[in-house]
Amino acid sequence: MHGSAMRIAGLCACAMVCAMVCAAGLAQGDAGGGSKDAPRSPAERASDLVAHMTLEEKAAQAGYDAPAIPRLGIPAYNWWNEGLHGVARAGFATVFPQAIGMAATWDVPLMHAAASVIGIEFRAKYAATVRPDGGSDWFRGLTVWSPNINIFRDPRWGRGQETYGEDPELTSRMAVAFITGLQGDDPRYLKTIATAKHFAVHSGPESTRHRADVQVSRHDLEDTYLPAFRAAVTEAKVHSVMCAYNAVDGAPACANEMLLQQHLRDDWGFEGYVVSDCGAAADIYLPAGEGHHYAPNPPVAAAEAFKAGMDLVCGDYRHRWNSEQDAIVAAVREGLLTESALDRSLRRLLEARIELGLLDPPGSNPYARIPPSDNDTPAHRALARRMAEESLVLLKNADHLLPLTRKPHSIVVIGPDADSVDGLVGNYNGTPSHPVTILAGIRARFSDAQVTYVPGSGLIDAGPPGEDPVAAARRADLVVVVDGLSPRLEGEEMKLSAPGFSGGDRTSLDLPAPQERLLERIGALGRPTVLVLVSGSALSVNWADRHLPAIIEAWYPGEEGGTAVAALLAGDFSPAGRLPVTVYESVDQLPPFGDYSMANRTYRYFNGEPLYPFGYGLSYTTFRYANARIVRAGGGPEQFEVSAEVTNTGARAGDEVVQLYLTHPGVSGAPRRALKGFARVHLLRGETRTVRFTLRGRDLSVVDPSGTRRIIPGRVDVWIGGGQPQSRPGLRRAAGVRARFSITHAAVLPD
């Protein structure tokens, strides 16, 4: 059925009665025509609603701020909500560590638990703000534009803090946990809808993102850039995907049939809807220098996007696109886009709203019973503290300075991030009701000590005048320097130009010069000094690594970050966070930022010596690995179970992150090594546990230079340990064991 008003006027009498009298029935799922049969499926209900819309109504529903259609029982709905590490931009909410920090936990169950809490808080916000007619406002809906599962291929990218790091396997596991936590496990209704973004090959530079045409090899596309999206679709059943600003191989991502149809729907079976990144639909037609100029005008751009598989436009497209009439309406009327293609998108969108229960009576949806009081609760804040504790990575601990076995009488805390709430929350964040800065955490945990705060330098300048930080450090028993970055320096498309920074990206991996100069003056005193790094990306702290006794990477640790850092100093827990990125010695070790080839990037292909390797992190206890075993398992000709015994050989209980890496010697297209499994386990003093991993087809495969994923017969080397098997001289090597097995059957795997 077509959507114009004239065609609706010609409907049969029965359908007209349904449209005019039974609007509530259409929206809420009564069988059509007054039948009392079993309720119709969401797909059937969505099709029925679309069939009763005019073309103009359909075009309006394809925008992120969809107006109500009262005659059909459809309330207004704003699709735009952010939930990267907590409900964002909607007032008070629990603020977990920034995404890169959550990845540093390497704790999949904890990630799932945090996402489940975030979903509950979205429901609580919705319950508190939904209008009497069922409408919702901006940042108050249930469609969450998270997670960001782009690969953090280059530490200069300012938005890398939003990701789960540089590795496809770690990113995939964290993505699946986050998505399933957000969406819930009810067989009929969704708690929220997660959105995997930005599809695809999107990872900077920010300054060219609206016009960049990313040229990427078929090998790198399949090997690095797509696996996490595939896992999000095929394993987590994500209900939404956001297409990116950039073009890929000549076609804008939001009008790219190779991405949106071939991979997403044909290969992976995606059944949800695709939303554009905000403004990306306009980039399709904007002139060179501003956008891609892939289409000559707005109607052609709309047609190309919807035909390729985009379903929802984010951005003020009704203002930016129309002169006399809406571009979507014009595209249909000019014959550029069939109305059936637009109907397909509308069905996907309405089916999503039905599965959220937004068109049903509240009593039928279990998630609708979540009250407004289930937001920002003490239990949720406790989980944020645990996540912050697990995210901390101990990078250096010379002479066992930490944990502090003797209580210091005087502590001086220095640095621009020490008392900064910005330094806790990162970007795309909510507002914490009880933020604990690192200074506040130290004061609370070491309440018997004299704690003095001296800001020292600013983030990128000398800072305000005040007490001499060097003099204060000279008098203290313990010096804690809290240096690093800020979401005011690194982030999305920022209007900032300063030494080391440009437009939200970084041009240097070093600490900003004012911080570095002051840090070296303090370090020269020889006092017991701990450097706490606050950042969303890797910092090349070469001088500190050579001269300071202790370094902690805290990321942007969320609302309980200060409590967590202080507890680590005191030894209330043993740290076990691991780096989800490589920390390079210098930007000079990297290829050009705009080069999307993975050659010499990330631990998988980097040929140099990093400052700290991916997967690295120290503990307050020690571990031993033994008895590696590999056995063929059932379920296919090439399936293996790999196991090893892990023993806590230290003096205290602690977590260990067990990591499994595979190497395919001599195989073209294979990385130097690749993470294929990991588990965070808690071991009591002296406890031994056998940790097992099952390796199946895709785990055993490599991508050949043509982009084909294959299982290739031959030797496979295995490493199971607390980090990678190699490190630079002077860096503690991870404990672990080696093994090997042979693949005997060749196979080509589907995309």
Catalytic residues: 277, 490
Measure CA of the first residue to CA of the last residue in the chain; give whole Å. 35
Q: How many CB atoms lie within 10 A of CB 717?
A: 15
In the chain, DSSP finds a helix count (H) and a strand count (E) of 25, 28
The answer to whether 362 touches 189, Cβ cutoff 8 Å, is: no
Length of the chain: 751
Task: For the sheet with 623-632, list strands across it.
Answer: 623-632, 640-648, 688-695
Q: How many CB atoms lie within 10 A of CB 592?
A: 9
- Give the 3-state secondary structure of residue 316: coil
The upper half-sphere exposure of residue 364, i.e. CA atoms within 13 Å in the direction of its Cβ, equals: 13
Paired strand residues for 501: 498, 506
| Those residues with Cβ within 8 angstroms of residue 545's Cβ, 6 or more apart along the chain or in another chain | 395, 396, 551, 611
The answer to whether 673 touches 640, Cβ cutoff 8 Å, is: no
CA 637/CA 632 separation, integer angstroms: 8
Nearest to 687 by CA among 665, 654, 712, 710: 654
Sign for the CA dihedral angle at 738, 744, 745, 748 comes to positive
CA 611/CA 330 separation, integer angstroms: 56
Given the structure tokens 């740290």, which residue do they identify? 575
Radius of gyration (C-alpha) of the chain in whole angstroms = 27
Q: How far is CA 337 from the centre of its chain?
A: 34
Backbone angles phi, psi at 394, to 5 degrees: -85, 110
Task: For the sheet with 709-711, list strands across it.
Answer: 702-703, 709-711, 747-748
| Those residues with Cβ within 8 angstroms of residue 592's Cβ, 6 or more apart along the chain or in another chain | none
Task: For the sheet with 714-721, list strands across it.
Answer: 674-683, 654-663, 714-721, 736-743
CA 604/CA 585 separation, integer angstroms: 17
| Those residues with Cβ within 8 angstroms of residue 41's Cβ, 6 or more apart along the chain or in another chain | none
Paired strand residues for 720: 660, 737
The answer to whether 522 touches 471, Cβ cutoff 8 Å, is: no
CA 558/CA 566 separation, integer angstroms: 14
Sign for the CA dihedral angle at 223, 226, 230, 231 comes to positive
Give the angle subtended at the CA of 498 by the CAs of 497 and 504, to the nearest 5°.
Answer: 50
CA 339/CA 344 separation, integer angstroms: 9
Cis peptide before 177 (omega within 30 of 0): no
- Could you please report the per-residue DSSP string of 534-573? E-SS----HHHHHH-SEEEE--S--TTHHHHHHHHHHTSS
Sign for the CA dihedral angle at 277, 281, 285, 287 comes to negative
